[in-house]
Structure 1
Amino acid sequence: MTLFVVLIILLAALLHAVWNAIVKTAADRTTMLGLVALGQVLPGALMVMLLPLPNPESFVYILLSTVVHFGYYFMLGKAYQHGDLSVVYPIARGIVPALVSLWAMVLVGEVLPFQAWTGIALIAVGIQLSSWKALRSGVGRSALMFALGTGFCISIYSVVDGIGVRLSGNTLSYWAWGAFLHLFIAGFVGVRKRATLKDLPAKVWMIGILGGLVSMTAYGLVLYAKNFAPLGAVSALRETSVIFAALIGFVFLKEGNWARRLGAAVLMAVGVALIGLAV
């Protein structure tokens, strides 16, 4: 994997951490997730009008990804009802790299070398270490099940989009349609939260829309990288967003233990290096 591709994925991970921090600090996380979805719909709608259609064979993957993303938002919302973000998030994200690598091996024949698997393992350990105190305090059964369900959905749409974007013939068009079809997610949240949306301050709307733009940009970078690197490796590098989120929490939100988070960052950095040199 070239340094350029590694840096693109790490930038995507940083942006992913930023929009998750926006959701984390929201008073109503469900409403904020809906606004984040809306923030992807608006530019997505403009792009689908201006860009050519992706290849027809990729549309089934776009639709499947939309359905799985809906499940992801549902699972994530339920997980946050039953457990704290500091517990749910590392569990959900920690299982993704290994699952994506397995799905990619079964479905598209991508076999990673042992060194890359070692890097994936170090990143997974770093994810758990970053939130070790919260995890050690215990995880309720419902929170655990929904967190695992969230991670499963992430792994599925990661592979679906990895295959779809390679078939699309146009990464920008695939990206645009995926963003535009967040319309269903934004619409669902809008119907459920219609009583409170009209009273939301303009600042909250702006923050949510901005979060959507950041989220869309992050995923666009990941889609681009999937054209050039194994899906499991891309997923593992993307999950470094957890440590970026932990560092944002420590620096700006005054959360957690700096020594533990620094140790997690070092582990994940070593994992990134091993993956980057192996594939």
Structure 2
Amino acid sequence: MTLSVFCILLFAALLHASWNAIVKAGNDKLYAAIGVSGSAAVMALILLPFSPQPAHASIPFLAASTALQVVYTVLVAKTYQVSDMSQTYPLMRGTAPLLVALISVLFLGDSLSSLAWVGIAVICMAILGMACNGRASSQRGVVLALTNACFIAGYTLVDGTGVRLSETALGYTLWSFFLNGACLLTWAMIARRREASRYLAQQWKKRHFWRDWHYGILWAGAMGHDPGAAGGGRRAA
């Protein structure tokens, strides 16, 4: 891994933690999450005409990933409604890499070196240890966080294959951003039109509303900047 890719991965992790903090701090956590995803979709839509298009073979994986990520985004909001981010965020992000490694080895025929297993174990134990040292979370929050870890592992595995088949990590990632945000915005305007309209009317003049959108735009722009880090940075964060 080059230094530039490593720095982009760290930056992606910072942005990911930041948008989770935005969702946690939001008055309506679901709409805060949709706001970040929607702004990333807008940025992706702007960049898509200038990026390579993914191969047709990757489309089923792109569709499956979008479905998983929509559920993931909703679960993030639901989790932060009932629990403390300092515990549930590490649970979500710390459990997923272990699930990915286990599924890859047991069912997909991948192999990992002993050093890789040690690294995964150390990282997972450290993150889970952070979660255990915080305030007691509600049982529902812990269940939601662990459930979401399964969805994170799911879209990580799907995207791993999808990116390889797409022949363009950049195009695949931008389409993923666009479809995820577009689906969430469409759902909000159809299923909860009155609530969504009321939220927009109340929040659009407030500073934190535009901060949410700026983070989403920065997120999509950062991931679109480096095709090699796009898939990994976004998923690992």
**TM beyond 0.5:** yes
Residue 216 of structure 2: aligned partner? 212
Counterpart code for 2:218: V
Matches within 5 A, 1:149-188: 149-181=147-179, 182-188=181-187
1:169 CA drift (Å): 1.1
Please state how far the C-alpha of 1:107 moved relative to its aligned partner.
5.2
Could you tell me how far apart the structure 1 residues matched to 2:48 and 2:5 are? 26
What residue number does 2:102 align with? 102
For 1:144 and 1:184, how far apart are their aligned partners in 2? 27
Shift of 1:111: 1.2
Tell me which residue corresponds to 1:199: 202
Q: CA deviation at 1:4?
A: 4.7
Counterpart contact for 1:38–1:183, Cα < 8 Å: yes
- TM-score normalised over the length of structure 1: 0.73
Q: Is the 8 A contact 2:68 2:155 kept in 1?
A: yes
Cα distance in 2 for partners of 1:40, 1:214 equals 8
Change (3 A) 1:47 1:220: closer
* Structure 2 residue ranges without an equivalent (≥5): none
Q: In the superposition, relative to structure 1, how do residues 157 and 113 fare at CA in structure 2: closer, same or farther (>3 Å)?
A: same
Cα distance, 1:132 vs structure 2: 3.5
2: CA distance between counterparts of 1:81 and 1:151? 17
Residue pair 1:72, 1:153 contacting (<8 A) in 2 also: yes
- CA contact under 8 A between 2:223 and 2:234: conserved in structure 1? no
Please list the CA deviations of residues 32-90 of structure 1 after superposition, one character each: whole Å capped at 9, or x if unmatched. Answer: 11110111111222233333421000111111110000110222222223322222212
Tell me which residue corresponds to 1:76.
76
Amino acid at match of 2:228: Y
Q: What do you get for the CA RMSD once the two structures are aligned? A: 2.7
Distance 2:189 2:227 in 1: 27
Change (3 A) 1:107 1:57: farther
Shift, 1:220, TM fit: 4.8
TM-score normalised over the length of structure 2? 0.84
Partner deviation per Cα, 1:96-152 (whole Å, 9 max, x = no partner): 111111232245432111111111111112212334432xx4343322221111111
Q: Return closer, same or farther for 1:180/1:57 CA change in 2, 3 Å cut-off.
A: same
Map 1:216-235 → 2, pairs under 5 A: 216-217=220-221, 219-220=223-224, 224-225=228-229
Percent of aligned pairs with the same residue? 31
- The answer for unaligned runs of 5 or more in structure 1 is 240-279
Is the 8 Å Cα contact of residues 68 and 156 (structure 1) preserved in structure 2?
yes
- Aligned AA for 1:176? L
> Is 1:92 equivalent to 2:95 in the alignment?
no
Separation of aligned partners in 2, 1:159 and 1:220: 20
What amino acid maps onto 2:185 in structure 1?
Answer: A
**Cα deviation 1:5-52 (Å, max 9, x = unaligned):** 433322321222232233333332222111101111112222333334
2:197 partner amino acid: R
Contact in 1 for aligned 2:169/2:228 (Cα 8 Å): yes
Provide closer, same or farther for how the CA distance between residues 153 and 220 of structure 1 changes in structure 2, counting only shifts above 3 A.
farther
Once residues 234 and 126 of structure 2 are traced to their aligned partners in structure 1, the CA distance between those partners, rounded to angstroms, is 17
